[in-house]
Structure 1
Amino acid sequence: MNRSIFKDSRNINGIDVYYEYYRNEQPKETIVLLHGFLSSTFSFRRLIPLLNEDFNVISVDLPPFGKSGKSYSFIYSYKNIAQTVISLLESLDISKVTVIGHSMGGQISLKIVSLRPDLAQKAILLCSSAYLKRSKLPLILSSYIPYFHLYVKLWLIRSGVRYNLQQVVYDHSLIDEEMMYGYMKPFLEEDIFKALTRMIRDREGDLHSTALKKIETPCLLIWGEHDKVVPLTVGKRLTNELKNSKLVVLKNAGHLLPEERPEEVHQHIKEFIFN
């Protein structure tokens, strides 16, 4: 079976968007992977080879994360990020996809489905964020303080990579040096903290229940039983409000499902797409 890997950046909506395109010449199905907050395409490293056996796979670094641009002038609202992903796919001449989003990427996936149901014909939400409000006004106003990005940097340093991974992974034995470096690497650049400061003021609230109930796109929700970041109760509520959805709960799993349970996630994805 012929496969090829293409890694590149394209300037979309005024910012460089890094993506990895894993082509499989046989299938017509294309999957788009969208990672979570403070993450990158690295979080799908165990899932991509499995998906590429049956699908074309495009994994995107959502601005300002990973290898994508970290412009201070870009608007980091979920709507604008979703529109940027849509424009990237259009630039690649891709007209139909299944979008898979983890955590924050799940909310952006829902934005894409809401904006372009003709493009994203199915959605798979892995521990998707939902029902988050916009940042409170004092925090938004604080983001305008000169050098506020240094406070953002200090907060991330204090929490630490290992501690953050322990919050998202149920089985802590999975945390090794490769994983820690992979999640730390994007934050070795100073510009990311300035971009995150901008994101604090740009990020709107998650899709309201009214908007969720209007989505007719088939959605598969996969959740970790012990998710500490986005609890299972959120997944159950989201399933009730998405009219054409199904919830699958993985036992003894946390928030970072693509790292923890790639084989099971892959199997549920295949069954959902092919059925």
Structure 2
Amino acid sequence: MRPEISVLDIQGQFRVYTEFYRAEAAEKTIVMVNGSLATTASFAQTVRNLHPQFNVVLYDQPYAGKSKAHNLHEKPLTKEMEGQILLELIDHFAAEHVMSFSWGGAATLVALAHRPRRIEKAVISSFSPVINAHMRDYLERGVKHLGARDRFEVGNLVNDTIGKHLPSLFKRFNYRHVSSLDLHEYDQMHFHISEVLTLNESNYLSTASNINVPVMFMNGEWDEYTAAQDARLFGQCVQKSTFSTIQSTGHFLDMEHKAACRDSRNAVLDFLKTDQPGSQPSRHRLHQPQEQHAFAL
């Protein structure tokens, strides 16, 4: 499964590395949005879950992965800038769906709030509008270690908190990746966390109130940092919202164990394929995600 690779010019400001996994039988295309400090490699399992049912688009933010060699990194990107990049990619690839992981949810909310005409459905995973006590502790320690550019502490922090339910092999990969980033990536993350710490839930809910397409918010049962019950606050403002809790898994969902991978896949495919002509809900739900449709307020 080899992707079509290209580096796209975004409004003359950024150059973005993309991977397009084409499936000849697929009728829809989905764009995946990374979390902070992540790259296209982070979605390897998710691509296997979605392809060939969908064409899948991966990309690296201008400051990360295979995009960073093509950009100058003169100043950090805001979530609004990242949202605009996502809108450009949606148009370029004529995508009908978008799916984000972790802090990629912030840029996705910004993009969806612009009501891109092509988008039919979205999945926002491991994200909530609330900076709860667990997340605040993680972010405040992150600001300290990133500000000091302490590679050892940054690498360990990720594994000891949001990554604590990952298998040991993935923890080693996480540590190598996070502790070996370029300094401008640490500066980007420091900027991002500092910005997040000044926000409250009303900022995210206000942005989300402009969304007019069905959105599934998917969280892990064991995730203390972007907790499932906190994500349900989006039901107050996203009229067509659905909530899925993946049992016995934490922040990294499909990467943590086989059952979580299966249940994440089933939840996403059921949501994206339901109500499309000729489609039927998946029969596989051995650990049924807890779903409900929120009332609009």
Do both proteins adopt the same fold according to a TM-score greater than 0.5, normalized to the shorter chain? Answer: yes
- Alpha-carbon spacing, 1:96–1:8, altered in 2? closer, same or farther (3 Å): closer
Counterpart mapping for 1:1-275 below 5 A: 4-13=2-11, 14-69=13-68, 71-90=72-91, 92=92, 94-131=93-130, 151-154=147-150, 156-161=151-156, 163-169=157-163, 171-172=165-166, 174-176=167-169, 180-181=172-173, 184-185=176-177, 187-197=180-190, 199=192, 205=199, 207-260=203-256, 261-275=260-274
Q: Structure 1: 5+ residue runs without aligned partners? A: 133-142
User: Do the aligned partners of residues 239 and 9 (structure 1) sit closer, same or farther apart at CA in structure 2, a change above 3 Å counting?
Assistant: same
Q: What is the CA-CA distance between 1:164 and the residue it aligns to?
A: 1.4
Distance 1:243 1:152 in 2: 43
RMSD over aligned Cα atoms:
2.9
* Distance 1:35-1:157 versus aligned 2 partners, 3 A rule: same
Letter in 2 for 1:118: R
Which stretches in structure 2 are left out of the alignment for 5+ residues?
Answer: 132-142, 275-297
TM-score, normalised via structure 2 length: 0.74
Q: Is the 8 Å Cα contact of residues 169 and 256 (structure 1) preserved in structure 2?
A: yes
**CA 1:126–1:200 in 2, change beyond 3 Å: closer, same or farther?**
closer
Aligned-pair distance for 1:119? 2.9
Give the match's secondary structure for 1:63. coil
Contact 1:104–1:129 (Cα < 8 Å) also in 2: no
SS in 2 for 1:223: strand
Instruction: Tell me by how many angstroms 1:24 deviates.
Output: 0.4
Task: Tell me by how many angstroms 1:268 deviates.
Answer: 1.1
Instruction: Please name the residue that 2:137 is paired with.
Output: none
Matched residue, 1:135: none
Deviation at 1:179, TM superposition (A): 5.1
Count of equivalent residues: 254
What is the Cα deviation at residue 202 of structure 1?
6.8
Normalising by structure 1, what TM-score? Answer: 0.79
SS of the equivalent of 1:72 reads coil
Letter in 1 for 2:9: N
* One-letter code aligned to 1:165: N
Higher relative contact order (CA 8 A, sep 6+): 1
Stretch deviating more after TM superposition (52-61 or 237-246):
237-246
Point out 4+ residue stretches in structure 1 off by more than 6 angstroms.
Answer: 201-204
Q: Which has the higher strand share?
A: 1
